[in-house]
Every structure is written in structure tokens, then in C-alpha cells.
Chains A and B, each alone.
Chain A
Amino acid sequence: MDDTVLDGERNTLGESDRVGGLNLPHDTLQERSEHEQYSPMVNQKRKGEQGAAVNFVSRKKALIKLQLSLNDFRRLCILKGVYPHEPNNRKKVQNGSSERKILYLLKDIKFLAQEPIINQFRNYKVFLRKLNHAKAKREAEKYTKIIDNKPQYQLDRIVKERYPTFSSAIRELDDALCLCFVFARFPRTKQLDTNLINECQRLTAEFMHYCIEARAVTNTFVSIKGIYYQAEILGEKITWLVAHDRGLPVVKQVDWAVLSTFAEFYVAMLSFVMFRLYQSVGLVYPPSIVSGEQTVTVEGGEDEDDEEIKEKIYSLAKPLLKKTGVESFYYNFQIDNDDNMDNFDAVEAEEELQRKLNEKKALKVLFSGSTFWLNRETPKESLAFLIRSCGGKVGWDGAPVDIKEDADSITYQIVDRPMKSTNIGRIYVQPQFVYDCVNARRRLPTSLYAPGASLPPHLSPFHAERAGDYVPVERLEELRAQGKDVTNYVTVDHVVSEEKKQKKPKVVKKKAEGLAVTPGQMHKVNQQRIINLQGEANKMRELMIPKKQQRLYQKLKKGLKRTRTEVIHHPTFLHITSQALLSQRSVLVWTRPRLPQWSSNSTLLFRPSVVQ
């Protein structure tokens, strides 16, 4: 692995190491200027001795403080979840320089300093030295002895420290899964630790098994990049991306050391999460299957038999062994759609909730009772995962299950090439059928997905519908089938015109023949309208006044207005009016105009939501 420095501090790094090596007790973080040491005014604080300048530490200084090499430091930071911080004002922190240094919080570094893993890092360095020595001297016995005592560290404590609760660990699954699925795809080469790749493969397979047993998958999307899955685990939506089953492209601009450290931590985290998740659904952990009459478990062996067993267990084709007494309760799901809809027709919110619940249940038993056969050239892992997590059974050529290709029990055969000979007893569909069915939460018409047919578009389930947005016709149909009110989603000109057409034919009232009594209507007088009419009439009459008298009229009007206001302001009048008006509430409003109330919680109590 390349050990060069990640950023531009390459030149200064060697220097810092040297300084660190020579001056062990010298604590550079609490360096004091000479001036201060000898000045009589000890309490005087100078620039750069308080505030942000003290709270931040550059990486170089952190290395000196921790007495670690850059690689070890990077490793430690990733394992402990300590990330660099950016100050509001760089100049204040960096002694006037605006260079883009990598800064850490001093608190974080102090916290890192007490980490026992640091000792293990140092031990490892000694171990390597000893090993090299023995190797050079060709002392085989010593060599093996040293290797047997290789220093190792446990990450369990750190995992618990970073994720104090199980749910916090679940929330972080996105990242862990994505990286582990990436690592699981890597070829076993010298560059990466084979053990790490194996672990990633094991854990990802275990996770998929869990999703199958818990029926946790909610959404999936086949993009040009890879296949996205979304599962709901303990109320958290977990999204991850799995690459297509193709070779990896040439990877550029990636620091493998960094990635594998992340992977190392996530492997530790995932293994504990898996243990707990398996317990929660009543699965035996480590995962095992029943083959014939005996249970088979993976127990870290390397024999050929063990390899076979591993393949069997992690193939996703067979259900895992459950603890005694735990029934597979999902198979008993029934959609009680009709019964409940009658009960919940009153409250709309509850209806919505009920609809969602039903939808979930429907997804869990979407493929139950049907068996799928996967042909060559179909993405087996992905399809098996989805079908089984929706309750179906899967078989393919070479899968560790009893299903044969010509079995009558097979209901669907997934094909990605036009077939020569077909079996009448089953339905042939293209792989997209499975993905679309999962997203639609119902079995779509298979005729659309017949082999050779031009497929309907594969829509994204992550695209939330909002009124006014454009919604494709396929999705509308889907929504309609779910019993949703679609009118909001349809574009305005499209629907409104229809509605107008419908509204136009008015119901013509028929006149009652002969004698009839019809209920009369109360006549309400609109006062405002009368005033308006009067005003209009006045204006008309004003217009009719000849010009000579018009001026006089205006004067009169003005005079009237003036006198009216003056009278009001006359103290006696004011007294009278106030007396008169006090009976009305409105006066209170005048005397004490209500001030706009500053809400007590004017400070921002805002918790930003996760934004893409």
C-alpha cells in the first residue's frame, strides 16, 4: 500500500516525526512563548492563547502529541470516528495564516490519546521489526513464535463507544453495507487483506439472509450504476447499492488504506449488529441450515467440505435454521383488506395508515406460494434475494435446493433471452418483472414482461409523488390500482378539461305542473350594497351640478369635513365621544395598541432533516 501523505504536508511531515522522536516529554500543545515565561504578568493572555486558537490543533501537532505515524493516526481517526473540523475563521486558529491545514479539535485529540489501541499500534511496529530480524537471520523457530504472538486488537469497545445504542448502529448501516458490498466484490489479490474480503462476503450474505427472514425489503431500483435496495429495519430505512455482476472497472483516485480501514471497522460493527438482528427474528447465529437430517454450521474451517457448506449457506436459496419454537410467522400473513376498509372508512388518516399497513403486508407475501426458476444470464443473487424476501421459492441450475428445472411446482421462469422451447405449465417473464412487482406491491400483468416483449419503463421508487409534479402514466395506473386518488397527480390541463366537460350539462329544473307549493327564500338585504348604490347616485348628482355651484359645493363639503374632525379633537367632545365609545370594545384597541408578540421560542429550534 502506498504510504505517502494524503495532503500537502508531505514536506513538513518528516520533520515533525523527527521532532517527535527526539523530544518525547516536550508537549507542543501547551507550548508557551518565552516572553510569557519570564514576564511578571503571568495572567495576561495573549493572542493565540485562548478561544478558537487553543481549541483547534493541526494534524501535524496532533501527530506529535500522540507520537504516531501519519498512517497510524489516519487509521485511529477512522476507527474512532474522529473527523477533521473547520473553524469559522481560519486565520484566528492558524496564527494569521489562511493555509488550508487539516485541523482537529483538541478535545478529540486528547480523547484519542487515551485509546489503548495506540499501544497495539506500537506493539505492531515492534512485532514487524522482530519479525524482519528473525527472517533475516533465518531463525525459523523464532519466526513462528513471533508470528504466533502477533499483537491483535479488538474493536468491540470502540463499536459500543461510537454506537451507544443498537438503534444508533442501525442508523449507520447504510454506510457499512455499501462499503461491505463493494469489498465483497473484490478479487483476492495481494493488495487487500483476503480475510477482510471474506468477512465482507460473509456479513453481506448474512445481512441478506436476515432481510429475507424479516421480510424487510421495501424498494428496489435497477440503475445503470448498480442495483439499489431499500429495507426497513426496526423502523429505519436502510438504503444500499450493490454493483451489477460484472467485473470492476479500473479504480482511480482511491486510497486503499483508508477504504480498508473503514471496511475493517464496519466489519466489526456489522458482526455485532448481525448477532442481534438474528436473535430478533429467532434465527440461529452463526447461520446454519438443515441438510438432510443434520444441521450444518459454518465454523471457520478451510477444508473443501467447509467451503461447500459455506456456499450452501450463503447461496440465499435455502432458508436458514431457526431456533426451536420460532414459527415463520410471515407465511401466515393474510391481507385483510376488505374487512378493515369497512371499519376504517370514517377517518381518512386512519384509512391511509391502514392502507400503508396493508401494502406492507402485501409486499411480505407478494410471491408466497409461487416458485421461480432462474435461467442462465439472470442476476441470480439479486433475484433470489428479492423473491425470497417476498415469500417466494427460488431455484436455479446448481442451487442447493431440491427444485429441478422441469418440476411442475415452478410457476414462473425468469428468462433473459427468447426461449426455444417452453413449458405450458409456467409463465415466462423477464427479470424486470420481479423488480417492478416489488415496487408496485402487487403482481403486475405478466404479458408486459414476456420474453422478447419491449418492457415498460422501470420507474424509480425513490421518486415521491407530489401534487403538480409530472407523474408518468404507468405510475398513475399503479396508483389507481392501489386505490389512491389520482386526480391530484394528473397534470392540470389534462384533468380539468374533462371535469369541465362533465360539469357543463346543467340540470334543468322542470316547472311543476299544476298547483304546487315550493319553499320560498328569505330575502336578505345587503346593507353595503345599498350604501354603494347611494354613493353612486350621489356621485351622479354631483356631476349634474353646474360648474359655478360645483366649487361652492366642494367648499361646503370640505368645511363639513373639517368641522367634523375639529369637533372630535375638542377636549369636551373627546370626553363625550370617549364616554360614548367606551361601551364599545374597539376603544381599548386604540388606547393600547397590541404589540406584536415576539414568540418566546424565537430562537431557532430547528433540527435539520436529512437532505439528499
Chain B
Amino acid sequence: MLGQTLRVGSGYGRHEGGQLGTVLLDDDGPGGLEGCAHVVCRLGKVGRTAVCDNRALQRGKCARSLTCSAHNIFRFFCFPRFIAVFALNSLFLTGNFEDMGKTTKKNNWRKGTKVGDVEEVLAKSNFDQQAGQATVSARSNDELFVVDREAREELPDPMENLTHKKKAILERIMKRVDEPIPEPKAAAKKPTIPKAKKTIIKRKEPKKAEAAKMDLWTTDLEPKIDLNDADGARIYKETLKLTRVKQPRTVLAKPSLLRAVALPDAGASYNPDVDDYSEFVSRLVEDEKRVIKKDEKERRRKELKPGQKMITAEEYRREMLEGLGVLEEEKKDAEEEPVTAAPAAAAVDEPMEEAAEAGKKLKKANKAGEKLENEKALPKTKKQRRKEREQELASRKKSKMQTQKELEQSVFKVKKLAREVREEESAREAALKIKREHRAIAKATRRKRHGKGTFEDNMEEFLLAEELPSSMRQINPQGCIVSERFKSYQKRNMIPVPLEEAQWKKKGRLRYKIKEERQSKEVRSNWARSCVSNRSIRSTSTIVSR
């Protein structure tokens, strides 16, 4: 690698905005860096630096010395138009940072640089090489390394002009550089990049809930306050928010009187009695029938009745255009054209007209008959009218007398009437009581409508007669007790019913889905079809041959 120019890949830095470049020293080259415990990087004639900016370079001053191992990554702040020269004592590695920004032309990147120093050093190295002082191994440590003991106060802090972020990055690099250098194990082994250590954080076990150690109902849980100090107590209470709103009665009220655990039907036994079972199953069947009937009704409601048909587009158009004069115009246009279908229509209409006429005649005849009857009825005479009046008066009087008499007679019935009233009242009261009870029970056990979803109860579990187990070992449990619990809470109005079940579905879990491409599908179906047709052909052919 002596005197070799190392072309440093500029790609490392480019994506970071052209400011930070990473240089990997590859020691695969001739001579390599083996045996070098420390590598002092030198820049130019005077300084030794790995970190510099182009201003420092221009001034020919080093910013800071840096010791690093051969395995390490060299990180640089790189700028456009920057050429770095590394000196491994007499070995020179010249890193040529390609222009990372806008300009790629040679002229431009030479513009602000002083290449003279570099050239001088290079020339010296050439001289050294010629003088036979080539190999590193031939030299002593003292010759190879320089211990830098001088404090260079005059030098400005290179960190001064850096942003916080850059400083942080630099510091991190420094830290890593300061780490002890691992012993190179085998010469042949490629140096690996040590990974940043992962801090393994062992999670502490959460505190375990312990068995209760007190009788809750005999211990006083109210916090104790020294009530002698009234002000103190008040402030204490206020600050700790111990003054409490009284518990509303509604909190202790049960939202529903339904049982927490619905008692099972006798027919749901794993080994049921025949009658219990048939009763249970027939009840379920009835329920199912009801559902089917409801569905059927719904279906029929949507169906067209005989004689009805769906409206066509044309009919719809006509209906919409009715009265706008458009249709009339169209009709006129149609009439102007030679009519062919008209006579046939007329032929159809004829019998209808005949029937209508016959009907009219019949009506006329009826009217005539009525008239005749009316002619027969003569106006009433005065006598008749008087008699009618008298009769009416008499009957009215009679009925009045009758009611009066009944009223008077009812005096004797008072006992009976009172009893009747009493009985009626008590019956009504009893009925009312029952009705109120029913209503109260219904209200207390009704599922209220909380939330926008529709509540669907679990289907009642059952086994078919042939599925019933012959022993407990063979029980195949039906239903899900978890969802039953959940539904029970909903049924008892303790939690609302959500809108959709889709909301519980797991989000963000990737699933494989095998999807057949359309093309391959088509190919396959074609193939299948061809197979089928072939077979049919074959079969027909066999028949023929027979």
C-alpha cells in the first residue's frame, strides 16, 4: 500500500447530505496494516488528523490527533473539494474524496486547495522508497510512532463551529475509539465490525396480588384525620379531595333482574330424559320455524305479486315525460308513419265495447223499475201522520215509564248491585295488580337499548338425538361459555352493544393469502374444459363403437 492512493468511496457520505463520510480502510492490499497496533493518521506536512475540514487543510494545520485501530471505521467530516492524505509514518494513503455535492469537475475541486504540501510529502515518500526504507517491519517502534506531548493551545477547537448534532456524533465516535483494542486473533480472519452492545434489560416481575389479609367488612377504610385541628383537617381534606359526593342510589341498583347464570333446561342434560329432550328440542324447532317464517315473509314482501312486473326504463321515461309535450310529439311522429298494428288493436277492443253497452242498458232498466215503485207510494194522509205521532208518543211514554219503574224496582236490588260492584272492583283491582306486576317484571328484565348495535343472543345449544353421548367421557361440549358471559353482561344492561363485530377483529396482523392470477386461472379452466370435452368425446366415441 506504500505510496498507494486509496480512493475512498464517496458513496458512504452522499446520502447523509454530503457532510459525513465513512472511510473503510481495507488492509487487504500488499503489506497491509498487520502488526500496526496503532495507526496515526497524518495529514499533510504538519498535523496528524483524521478529522478536519477543508479550511484546516488549507491552512495546513491539523485539528486534532487521533489514534485508532486498524479495524475501526474512520469517520470524517467531508466537504466538497477535499483531498485527504493519510500518512502511516512513511506510508502514505491518499484518500481522494470525490466531490460529494454539486460540482464534479476537476477544475472546481482544485480551486481552493493547496496541493503543494501534499505533493511535497508524496515526493518525500518516493524518495524514502528509493532509499530502501520501505517496510514498516524493518523500523523500530520509536521510529514508527510519535508521541505527541506538546499542548497546542493556539489551535482553535474544531468542535467550536459544529452543531450539537455533529458534536454528539463526534463524541460517540471518540468514545468508541477509546475502547480497548481487541487482540487480532488470526491473521487470515477478516476484521469484523463490532456491533453496538444491546443493553439487555431484564424486566422485573410485576408485583403479585396476594391473598386478602383483612376482613374488609370490619375494617374502616376511611383515612384518619386529626379533627382537633379543624383548619388542618379541612385543608387536608380539600387537597386530598377527601370530601366526597354522596353515593347516588342509582349506583347500587341492579340494571337488570335477570339471573347472572341462566338455569339450564332439563332437556339440555348430557343424558336427558326422553320427554324432557323432546320438549326442549321441539321448543327450539318452534323458534327456528318462527325465524324461517319471518324470513319467508320478508322474501315474499319483496317479491312481485302475480300480474305485477318491474317497471322498464322506457315506462319510467314515459312517466317522467308525461305532460311535457314530448310524448305527444312522438306520437304524432308515429301516426304520420304508416300504421300497421292499429286494426288488430281495434279488433281486440270491439267485444269490450259491446259488454260495456250491455251493462249500460241493464242499469237503465233498473232505474225504470225503481221509478215505478215510487209512483205506487202515495203521500201520507193527515190521519196517518197523527196516528204515527201518537204511537210514537205512546211508545216513548211507555219506555219512560218502564225505565222509571225499573229504577224504582232497583231499590230492592241494592244488595245485589252492591255485591256486583264490589266483585267487579275487586276483579279489576286484581287484574290491575297482575298487569302491574307483569309490567314491572318486564321492565326490570328487559334488555335496554344501549349503543347502536343490534344484540344477538347466543343460539341455544343442543345435540341431535344421535349425537347424545352414552357416557360422560364422550361429551362434546356445546356453546362457548366465554361469549355467553359477555352476552350475559349485554343482556343485563351492564355494557352497551357495539355497532359492528368487525371492530374486534385483530388489526395489523399480516396474513398470507394465496391468490391465483387471472391468467393462470383462465389457462387452468381452459385446460379443465378441454379435458371434459375430450372425455365426452371419448365417451361418445366409445358408445358409437359399441
* Known A6-B498, A160-B217, A460-B276; contact A143-B472, beta-carbon cutoff 8 A: no
The answer to whether A286 and B211 touch across the interface, beta carbons within 8 angstroms, is yes
A443 contacts chain B at the CB level, 8 A cutoff: no
* Known A143-B201, A178-B261, A195-B206; contact A8-B499, beta-carbon cutoff 8 A: yes
Shortest distance between the CB of A13 and any CB in chain B (Å): 12
Pick from B214, B408, B411, B481 the residue with the most CB of A within 10 Å: B481
Given the complex, which residues of B lie within 8 Å of A553, measured CB to CB?
none
Pick from B262, B463, B499 the residue with the most CB of A within 10 Å: B499
Given the complex, which residues of A lie within 8 Å of B273, measured CB to CB?
457, 459, 472, 474
The answer to whether B201 and A416 touch across the interface, beta carbons within 8 angstroms, is no
Given the complex, which residues of B lie within 8 Å of A596, measured CB to CB?
421-422, 425-426
The answer to whether B272 and A457 touch across the interface, beta carbons within 8 angstroms, is yes
B60 contacts chain A at the CB level, 8 A cutoff: no
The answer to whether A276 and B216 touch across the interface, beta carbons within 8 angstroms, is yes
The answer to whether A160 and B266 touch across the interface, beta carbons within 8 angstroms, is no
B343 contacts chain A at the CB level, 8 A cutoff: no
The answer to whether B216 and A272 touch across the interface, beta carbons within 8 angstroms, is yes
B514 contacts chain A at the CB level, 8 A cutoff: no
Produce 1/0 per residue, A556-571, CB < 8 A to B: 0000000001000100
Q: Which B468-524 residues have a C-beta within 8 angstroms of A?
A: 470-473, 475-486, 489, 493-499, 501, 503-507
Given the complex, which residues of B lie within 8 Å of A594, measured CB to CB?
418, 422
Name which of B3-11, B175-183, B246-254 contacts chain A: B246-254
B298 contacts chain A at the CB level, 8 A cutoff: no
* Known A431-B472, A594-B418; contact A111-B251, beta-carbon cutoff 8 A: yes
Pick from A114, A240, A300, A610 the residue with the most CB of B within 10 Å: A610
Closest chain B residue to A159, Cβ basis: B216
Q: Which A564-588 residues have a C-beta within 8 angstroms of B?
A: 565, 569, 586
The answer to whether B449 and A140 touch across the interface, beta carbons within 8 angstroms, is no
The answer to whether A225 and B245 touch across the interface, beta carbons within 8 angstroms, is no
The answer to whether A225 and B247 touch across the interface, beta carbons within 8 angstroms, is no
The answer to whether B483 and A6 touch across the interface, beta carbons within 8 angstroms, is no
Given the complex, which residues of B lie within 8 Å of A323, measured CB to CB?
none
The answer to whether A222 and B472 touch across the interface, beta carbons within 8 angstroms, is yes
The answer to whether A175 and B483 touch across the interface, beta carbons within 8 angstroms, is no
Name which of A249-257, A339-347, A361-369 contacts chain B: A249-257
A150 contacts chain B at the CB level, 8 A cutoff: yes
The answer to whether A107 and B451 touch across the interface, beta carbons within 8 angstroms, is no
The answer to whether B478 and A224 touch across the interface, beta carbons within 8 angstroms, is yes
The answer to whether A253 and B199 touch across the interface, beta carbons within 8 angstroms, is no
Given the complex, which residues of B lie within 8 Å of A110, measured CB to CB?
245
Given the complex, which residues of A lie within 8 Å of B494, measured CB to CB?
78, 83
Produce 1/0 per residue, B402-436, CB < 8 A to A: 00010011011011011001100110010001001
Given the complex, which residues of A lie within 8 Å of B200, measured CB to CB?
140
The answer to whether A174 and B259 touch across the interface, beta carbons within 8 angstroms, is yes
Given the complex, which residues of A lie within 8 Å of B260, measured CB to CB?
174-175, 178, 239
Produce 1/0 per residue, A148-191, CB < 8 A to B: 10101000110111101110010000110011001000000000
Given the complex, which residues of A lie within 8 Å of B258, measured CB to CB?
611-612
A455 contacts chain B at the CB level, 8 A cutoff: yes
A378 contacts chain B at the CB level, 8 A cutoff: yes
B167 contacts chain A at the CB level, 8 A cutoff: no
Closest chain B residue to A80, Cβ basis: B251
A487 contacts chain B at the CB level, 8 A cutoff: no
Given the complex, which residues of A lie within 8 Å of B251, measured CB to CB?
80-82, 108, 111, 162
Q: How far is the CA of A157 from the CA of B216 in the complex (A)?
A: 9
B265 contacts chain A at the CB level, 8 A cutoff: yes
A29 contacts chain B at the CB level, 8 A cutoff: no
Candidates A159, A224, A379; contact of B461 at CB < 8 Å? A224
Closest chain B residue to A84, Cβ basis: B450
Given the complex, which residues of A lie within 8 Å of B472, measured CB to CB?
222, 378-379, 416, 430-432
B440 contacts chain A at the CB level, 8 A cutoff: yes
The answer to whether A377 and B473 touch across the interface, beta carbons within 8 angstroms, is yes
B77 contacts chain A at the CB level, 8 A cutoff: no
Q: How far is the CA of A545 from the CA of B275 in the complex (A)?
A: 68
Produce 1/0 per residue, A78-103, CB < 8 A to B: 10111111100000000000011011
A105 contacts chain B at the CB level, 8 A cutoff: yes
Given the complex, which residues of B lie within 8 Å of A512, measured CB to CB?
none
B74 contacts chain A at the CB level, 8 A cutoff: no
Candidates B269, B270, B470, B493; contact of A454 at CB < 8 Å? B470
B24 contacts chain A at the CB level, 8 A cutoff: no
The answer to whether B216 and A156 touch across the interface, beta carbons within 8 angstroms, is yes
Q: How far is the CA of A143 from the CA of B203 in the complex (A)?
A: 9
Shortest distance between the CB of A452 and any CB in chain B (Å): 9
Given the complex, which residues of A lie within 8 Å of B408, measured CB to CB?
565, 569
Candidates B207, B261, B262; contact of A152 at CB < 8 Å? B207
Candidates B269, B421, B482, B497; contact of A7 at CB < 8 Å? B497
Q: Which A224-278 residues have a C-beta within 8 angstroms of B?
A: 224-226, 228, 239-241, 243-244, 246, 248-255, 258-259, 262, 267, 271-272, 274-276
The answer to whether A140 and B453 touch across the interface, beta carbons within 8 angstroms, is no
The answer to whether A225 and B503 touch across the interface, beta carbons within 8 angstroms, is no
Produce 1/0 per residue, B85-128, CB < 8 A to A: 00000000000000000000000000000000000000000000
B437 contacts chain A at the CB level, 8 A cutoff: yes
The answer to whether B212 and A275 touch across the interface, beta carbons within 8 angstroms, is yes
Q: Which A422-456 residues have a C-beta within 8 angstroms of B?
A: 430-432, 454-455
The answer to whether A225 and B461 touch across the interface, beta carbons within 8 angstroms, is yes
Produce 1/0 per residue, A451-482, CB < 8 A to B: 00011011110110000001010100000000
B291 contacts chain A at the CB level, 8 A cutoff: no
Q: How far is the CA of A262 from the CA of B506 in the complex (A)?
A: 21
Shortest distance between the CB of A33 and any CB in chain B (Å): 27
Q: How far is the CA of A378 from the CA of B472 in the complex (A)?
A: 8
The answer to whether A2 and B506 touch across the interface, beta carbons within 8 angstroms, is yes
Given the complex, which residues of A lie within 8 Å of B475, measured CB to CB?
222, 224, 244, 246
Given the complex, which residues of B lie within 8 Å of A81, measured CB to CB?
251-252
The answer to whether A108 and B270 touch across the interface, beta carbons within 8 angstroms, is no
The answer to whether A2 and B212 touch across the interface, beta carbons within 8 angstroms, is no
B189 contacts chain A at the CB level, 8 A cutoff: no
* Known A6-B496, A152-B207; contact A223-B247, beta-carbon cutoff 8 A: no
Given the complex, which residues of B lie within 8 Å of A169, measured CB to CB?
217
Given the complex, which residues of A lie within 8 Å of B493, measured CB to CB?
83-84, 86
Shortest distance between the CB of A450 and any CB in chain B (Å): 12
The answer to whether B269 and A459 touch across the interface, beta carbons within 8 angstroms, is yes
Produce 1/0 per residue, A191-203, CB < 8 A to B: 0000100010010
B152 contacts chain A at the CB level, 8 A cutoff: no
Could you show 10 A-B contacts with beta carbons less than 8 Å apart? A4-B507, A5-B503, A83-B255, A108-B251, A224-B462, A226-B481, A252-B501, A275-B213, A378-B472, A455-B271
**Interface set of B (CB-CB < 8 Å, partner A):** 198-201, 203-217, 221, 241, 244-245, 247-248, 250-252, 255, 257-266, 268-276, 405, 408-409, 411-412, 414-415, 417-418, 421-422, 425-426, 429, 433, 436-437, 440-441, 444-445, 448-453, 461-463, 470-473, 475-486, 489, 493-499, 501, 503-507
- 10 smallest CB-CB distances across A and B, nearest first, come from A460-B266, A174-B260, A7-B451, A8-B452, A457-B273, A596-B425, A8-B499, A86-B448, A272-B216, A286-B211
